[in-house]
């Protein structure tokens, strides 16, 4: 008997990462565990963990499942979680089970047997720093002797295996689950048809009506707003209702244009993960992805925080309108094309879309509301400086803004922008890229 997964699945063409309030997490699937390069590149780009859903069988499972989880953890000094289906004695395919989590020391800190259940593990991010100081492999790699796989075959190539042989589809036989053979059928993902690529990891300010007007999609088909594919969104609204389920928090949020469900994955044994400022009747800002399940839509939130300055509500509304107009009508006439000098001098510019006397959209920082001058200057520096997938180095940002801000102010601004989802680390902690690619 032969199982040919390429009949129903296609190989990915880009690495997948997703943001959380605690840091970025890399995502692989089953057979990806066997390739150290994927986890290595993710770790070098700032991921704190790798997650692998997988279905090794009862032959490859006892041989390699735990071994590979621990290997990827110790190789990259990150946390690694592997999730397996439970074993069904009546099914034709027998999964190994044994979902588990390993820490950066390669210790298995949580696991289970082959039956149904849920694995919980406490993730202490300080452990990553501790391990990397104790065993400083990140500082002692010899790229003068061997190549840096994080750069792939080209300077900005982050595709699997440096982008070689990407048209091959994988398949496996019944006795090789978790092990693949190249298929000659060719093909591969179309970058224009799948979500999650690098170019789509932008943070888009929206109204809830824009989300409710989106045409429902299936699987990983693109989600479109204003004829542009979007991934992460942010909006502000009032919490109208709240409920806690076994594994998530459910909010109903309304902003005057519509209402939508917001889900935050959680652990019922940890009530402290609910921000006390997030409650019914309060304004909140939501960061997350629009999802569809069983024909219904919701936002899977990375973060929900209370709005403490009500000016942010007005700023966000204008920001969402400005981005919508820019996407549908183009850049406003008269808008300054190069505001580098303004960023250096601390001058705000006026957008033709802004109301008279206001500067909500043309303000330094690309229209991001509620930011300090240092934070706005960092965003503007990122916006007007050409940079590839590696982003911009912190040193370069310091050099551009040295005449206005101290290194501590710039570093603090960068950390805040990362925490709020406006920037993210790329190849290491000293390189950042903006999520607003407009």
- Predicted confidence at residue 267, as pLDDT, reads 53
Strands 228-230, 223-225: pairing kind: antiparallel
pLDDT given for residue 170 in this prediction = 36
pLDDT at 357 over 50: no
Q: How far apart are the first and last CA of the chain?
A: 50
Predicted pLDDT of residue 302:
83
Average pLDDT over residues 149-154: 58
Spatial distance between the Cα atoms of 39 and 34, rounded to a whole number of angstroms:
10
Q: Which of 177-186, 351-360, 383-392 has the highest mean pLDDT?
A: 383-392
Position 410 pLDDT exceeds 50: yes
Q: Tell me: pLDDT of 3 over 80.
A: no
If pLDDT is split at 50, 70 and 90, which confidence band does 152 have? low
Q: Is the pLDDT of residue 19 over 60?
A: yes
Token look-up 């209402």 returns: 259
Q: What is the pLDDT of residue 334?
A: 53
Q: Number of helices (H) and strands (E), helices first, in the chain?
A: 10, 20
Quote the distance between the C-alpha of residue 190 and its chain's center: 20
Task: Tell me which of 3.60.110.10, 3.40.50.180, 3.90.1150.10, 3.40.50.300 is the CATH number of domain 2-173.
Answer: 3.60.110.10
What would you measure as the largest C-alpha separation in the chain, in angstroms? 73
Looking at residue 272, what is its pLDDT? 45
Q: Stretch 172-180: mean pLDDT, rounded? A: 38
Give me the mean pLDDT over the 196-210 stretch: 71
User: 68-119 pLDDT, tens per residue?
Assistant: 999 999 999 999 999 999 988 888 788 889 999 999 999 999 999 888 888 8
Task: Report how far residue 199's alpha carbon sits from residue 433's, in angstroms, rounded to the nearest whole number.
Answer: 11
| Nearest partner of 26 among 156, 170, 164, 150, judged by Cα | 150
Cα separation, 306 vs 378, whole angstroms: 24
Q: Which of 165-174, 253-262, 357-366, 403-412 has the highest mean pLDDT?
A: 253-262
Place of tokens 């099914």: 91
Give the residue among 258, 264, 260, 255 at the shortest CA–CA distance from 283.
Answer: 255
Angle in degrees, 0-180, between the axes of helices 36-44 and 66-76, rounded to the nearest 10: 30
Distance, CA of 2 to CA of 5 (rounded, Å): 9
pLDDT in tens, 361-403: 333 344 455 678 888 889 888 877 777 777 888 888 988 888 8
Beta bridge partners of 181: 171
| pLDDT on residue 350 | 40
Task: List the CATH code of the domain at 201-311.
Answer: 2.40.50.140
Q: What does the alpha-carbon distance between residue 163 and residue 154 come to, in Å, rounded to a whole number?
A: 9
Give the helix/strand (H/E) hosting 3: strand 2-3
Strand extents, DSSP E, 143-294: 170-173, 181-182, 203-205, 223-225, 228-230, 232-244, 248-254, 259-265, 283-293
As assigned by CATH, the class of the 333-434 domain is mainly alpha
What average pLDDT does this structure show over 16-32? 90
Q: For 340-354, what is the mean pLDDT? A: 40
**Residue 241 confidence (pLDDT):** 93
For residue 260, the model assigns a pLDDT of: 96
Check whether 192 has a pLDDT greater than 50: no
pLDDT for 153: 43
pLDDT value, residue 146: 83
Give me the chain's average pLDDT, please.
76
**pLDDT exceeds cutoff 60 at 355:** no
Domain borders along the chain are: 2-173, 201-311, 333-434
Residues 252-295 have pLDDT tens digits of 999 999 999 999 876 545 554 577 888 899 999 999 889 887 77
Q: Note the pLDDT of residue 74.
A: 95
Average pLDDT value for residue range 29-38: 90
- Between 343 and 16, name the one with better pLDDT: 16
Cα 140 from Cα 132, distance rounded (Å): 11
375, 413 contact by CB (below 8 A): yes
The stretch 49-53 carries a mean pLDDT of 95
Q: What is the pLDDT of residue 138?
A: 77
Q: How many CB atoms lie within 10 A of CB 295?
A: 7
């Amino acid at each position: 008997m032969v199982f040919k997964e390429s009949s129903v699945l296609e190989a990915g063409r880009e690495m997948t990462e997703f943001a959380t309030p605690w840091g970025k997490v890399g995502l692989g699937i089953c057979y990806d565990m066997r390739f150290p390069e994927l986890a290595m590149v993710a770790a070098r780009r700032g991921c704190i963990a790798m997650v692998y859903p997988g279905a090794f069988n009862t032959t490859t499972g006892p041989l390699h499942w735990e071994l590979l989880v621990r290997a990827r953890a110790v190789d990259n000094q990150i946390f690694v979680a592997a999730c397996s289906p439970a074993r069904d004695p009546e099914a034709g395919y027998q999964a190994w089970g044994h979902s588990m989590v390993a820490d950066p020391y390669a210790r298995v800190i949580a696991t289970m047997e082959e039956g149904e259940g849920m694995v919980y593990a406490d993730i202490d991010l300080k452990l990553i720093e501790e391990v990397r100081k104790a065993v400083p492999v990140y500082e002692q790699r010899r790229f003068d002797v061997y190549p840096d796989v994080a750069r792939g075959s080209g300077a900005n190539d982050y595709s699997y295996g440096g982008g070689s042989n990407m048209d091959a589809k994988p398949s496996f036989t019944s006795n090789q689950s978790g092990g693949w053979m190249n298929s000659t059928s060719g093909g591969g993902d179309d970058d224009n048809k799948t979500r999650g690529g690098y170019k789509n990891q932008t943070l888009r300010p929206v109204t809830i009506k824009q989300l409710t007007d989106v045409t429902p999609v299936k699987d990983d088909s693109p989600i479109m707003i204003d004829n542009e594919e979007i991934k992460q969104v942010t909006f502000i609204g009032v919490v109208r209702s709240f409920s806690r389920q076994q594994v998530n928090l459910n909010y109903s949020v309304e902003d005057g244009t519509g209402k939508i469900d917001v889900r935050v994955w959680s652990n019922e044994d940890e009530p402290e993960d609910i921000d006390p400022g997030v409650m019914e009747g309060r304004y909140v800002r939501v960061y997350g992805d629009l999802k569809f399940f069983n024909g219904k839509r919701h936002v899977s939130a990375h973060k929900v925080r209370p709005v403490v300055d009500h000016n942010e509500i007005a700023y966000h509304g204008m920001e969402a309108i400005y981005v919508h107009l820019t996407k549908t009508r183009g850049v406003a006439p008269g808008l300054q094309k190069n505001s580098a000098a303004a960023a250096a001098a601390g001058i705000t510019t006026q957008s033709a879309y802004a109301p008279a006397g206001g500067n909500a959209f043309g303000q330094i920082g690309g229209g991001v509301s509620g930011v300090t001058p240092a934070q706005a200057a960092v965003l503007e520096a990122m916006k007007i400086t050409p940079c590839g997938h590696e982003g911009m180095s912190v040193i370069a940002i310091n050099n551009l803004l040295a005449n206005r801000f101290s290194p501590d102010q710039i570093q603090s601004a960068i950390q805040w922008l990362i925490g709020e989802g406006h920037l993210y680390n790329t190849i290491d902690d000293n390189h950042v890229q903006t999520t607003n690619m407009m």
